[in-house]
Structure 1
């Protein structure tokens, strides 16, 4: 069962993991909104090092306002970035996080 639902506000964690990861540095510590549950898949961080026996991890599409990522963004305030993020890289957003969005 997915931890997050469409519409949930989430904050991307900084896990300081070495090696192959799919969570870009520029999106860490940012707050976005879950727009889709994509399913559960083997963790690509494990697959990159040949570990094919690990548990599956939920994956979501999360939308971030461009200005949340790049404060000096000069485009439309309606512009956003959508990225797929695995559940272990996210936590529920707090009211403090929402104030910065």
Structure 2
């Protein structure tokens, strides 16, 4: 049986390229990369705020799937293999077909 994706996020997303100083929860090697939201995981306190003892509201957390080809380009030994990462919504932006076109 196919499982329905329960997410307010669009299916295709791009991880922000920003490189802020300090404690962040988006892996540097995924910044600027495009993936597919595999599922919504719930709402959790933002660890980027908690790391500094700041109040942290709950934010949506998503499991996003990336192909090795997307992450590593021509260096990917197995381009169709995937990696999943749990990324907070404030790091993700929707990707439209028009944006994704060459």
Shared fold per TM-score greater than 0.5: yes
8 Å CA contact 1:33–1:62 kept in 2: the answer is yes
1:39 is the counterpart of 2:42: yes
Q: Determine if contact 1:11/1:97 at 8 Å carries over to the other structure.
A: no
RMSD of aligned Cα (Å):
1.8
Is the aligned partner of 1:3 residue 2:5? Answer: no
**Paired residue total:** 96
Deviation at 1:74, TM superposition (A): 4.1
Distance 2:90 2:32 in 1: 14
Q: Which runs of 5+ in 1 are unaligned?
A: none
Does the 8 Å contact 1:65/1:78 carry over to 2? yes
Say if 2:46 is the partner of 1:48.
no
Which range is displaced more, 56-65 or 72-81?
A: 72-81
Q: Normalization by structure 1: what TM-score?
A: 0.83
Scaled by the length of structure 2, the TM-score of the pair is: 0.83
Bigger mean CA deviation after superposition, 56-65 or 91-100: 91-100
CA distances 1:38-86 after superposition (whole Å, capped 9, x unpaired): 11111010010011x3211100000000000101234333201100000
The match for 2:24 among 18, 21, 25 is 21
Flag the 1:70–1:97 CA change in 2: closer, same or farther, 3 A.
Answer: farther
Please state whether the residue corresponding to 1:54 is helix, strand or coil. coil
